Structure 1
């Protein structure tokens, strides 16, 4: 489009080359900076599914260190420091770069899944950079006090008669801060494969998006998967976080949109955290018939929430409902 943008290149962030994609039909639209999940799972593969979003927002998709094209460019030895603090610093640098490149004062911070760990911290600390925070597949680790999803997994395994897997998960114990990177990864994979809706979403949305991605070659997809394995080391680092202790006061609009059947990051802990949050505007909504990857399984529902609840707030055209 005449006032649109479609750029993709490596940018020097945190001392290494990191991949940034910027797409949108109208540069006067609000700018979204995405924080992808995984860890190490670039959102670039979902671009065809979220094409309609680009009519209403300019979307910045960043392959973090350890992910996607950033991992492919430098390999394991070229990723530098792999810590949550480093990702946080990188995200601030990306934010500053995009604000300068696009000439905007603030950007809309949208985080999904593992990206929400960093997203909450950025939103809490830097309301001067972000017009609002939107979390989906929101992680609420909460110091490990809530073990309901762990117990639900044990129950599903018992009901399915998968005794060996249940024994393995039981031996890990509910204290995720004591898990190794391998145990953290194994737990996530077991959650995905024991819930029919999540497993179907993995096959029909995630794997299909990977296989048919117009932005990746087969070699690129191999690097994508290797990056996810490499980035698993970040998982256990997050398990010691207590979001309540870090603070529930946010000085920017705050939104959580959660899959109503998500068993990996269930809606109940997210709603409890939302209820504890104080913010100038806040809103919570469920994405219907959705597991994890809710915004990518139902991109039309997510876009409707963004247009009816978020965009009016960040553009000053209206105020959001509180539910």
Structure 2
């Protein structure tokens, strides 16, 4: 399995598409409690047009889960280290939820490394200390299965869960097998991240995607984020928090159209 030693840890990654070709690079960053497999609905189509680089955020999937708490600086440093290891000077970036926070910070602090930016189901500030402190403590003390019944139903609408029980079961399986300490440490990174001051300095062309039924990063927060980023576009899907799965075809097409659009005049 491909691992890269970056930022003091072993980071698991995967490349789809011709890695030695000339297509632009596209980095995909997962949400809290998931792993790179969450991008399965998009990879086949996007890898026809891009060299797609997925990675498991630290504390998730096959990546290392070092002692926390983690920070936004570490999460962005992991991406930069991976790009450097693979000799990628510049890439488009698409992140969901926690991955979106990483994208905001990357684009604001390292504009030379980011081409186009897609921020899905995220906000400049997600949640509150009341949520994240309790969530981190419960993950560490009781394990991930104890969180599944309260967290996962918020990821999708009830109609989707009823219509796609196998998809929901697969995502639940990834969630409950996430390292509990890695999950908790990422909760602490999210809790500490307030990027309201950074969004306005982003110069990359940006697309913000929200889910109409998202309770974690609401449409109101998504619209505010899009308004804060100069020239950003906003798109809303009939979905809850994991919109790339719940509205996979529309998400795939919308992002592809944005990434391939002519540059602004």
Counterpart position of 1:162: none
Tell me which of 285, 290, 296 is aligned to 2:235. Answer: 285
Shift of 1:246: 3.9
Q: Does 2:222 correspond to 1:270?
A: yes
Q: Conserved in 1, the CA contact under 8 Å of 2:96 and 2:119?
A: yes
Q: Conserved in 2, the CA contact under 8 Å of 1:201 and 1:297?
A: no
Q: Conserved in 1, the CA contact under 8 Å of 2:126 and 2:190?
A: no
Tell me which of 21, 33, 38 is aligned to 2:32. Answer: 38
Counterpart position of 1:205: 167
Q: Does 2:114 correspond to 1:130?
A: yes
Alignment of 1:232-311 (within 5 A): 232-233=183-184, 234-278=186-230, 281-287=231-237, 289-311=238-260
Cα deviation digits, residues 61-108 of structure 1 (max 9, x gap): 11122111224xxxx5xx35551232222121112223x1xxx54100
Q: Does 2:182 correspond to 1:190?
A: no
Q: Does 2:80 correspond to 1:92?
A: yes
Unaligned runs of 5+ residues in structure 2 are none
Alignment of 1:225-236 (within 5 A): 225-233=176-184, 234-236=186-188
Counterpart position of 1:83: 70
With normalisation by structure 2, the TM-score equals 0.81
Larger radius of gyration: 1
Task: Name the CA distance, whole Å, in 2 between partners of 1:258 and 1:201.
Answer: 21
SS in 1 for 2:123: coil
Alignment of 1:165-184 (within 5 A): 175-176=130-131, 179=134, 181-182=136-137
Task: Name the CA distance, whole Å, in 2 between partners of 1:308 and 1:48.
Answer: 16
Task: Name the CA distance, whole Å, in 1 between partners of 2:171 and 2:138.
Answer: 26
Provide the aligned length of Structure 1 versus Structure 2.
255
Cα deviation digits, residues 178-215 of structure 1 (max 9, x gap): 5451358878852543652475588443433677xxxx
SS in 2 for 1:21: strand
Shift of 1:49: 5.7
Task: Name the CA distance, whole Å, in 2 between partners of 1:110 and 1:96.
Answer: 18
Q: Conserved in 1, the CA contact under 8 Å of 2:25 and 2:53?
A: yes
Unaligned runs of 5+ residues in structure 1 are 1-7, 145-173, 212-220
Shift of 1:43: 1.8
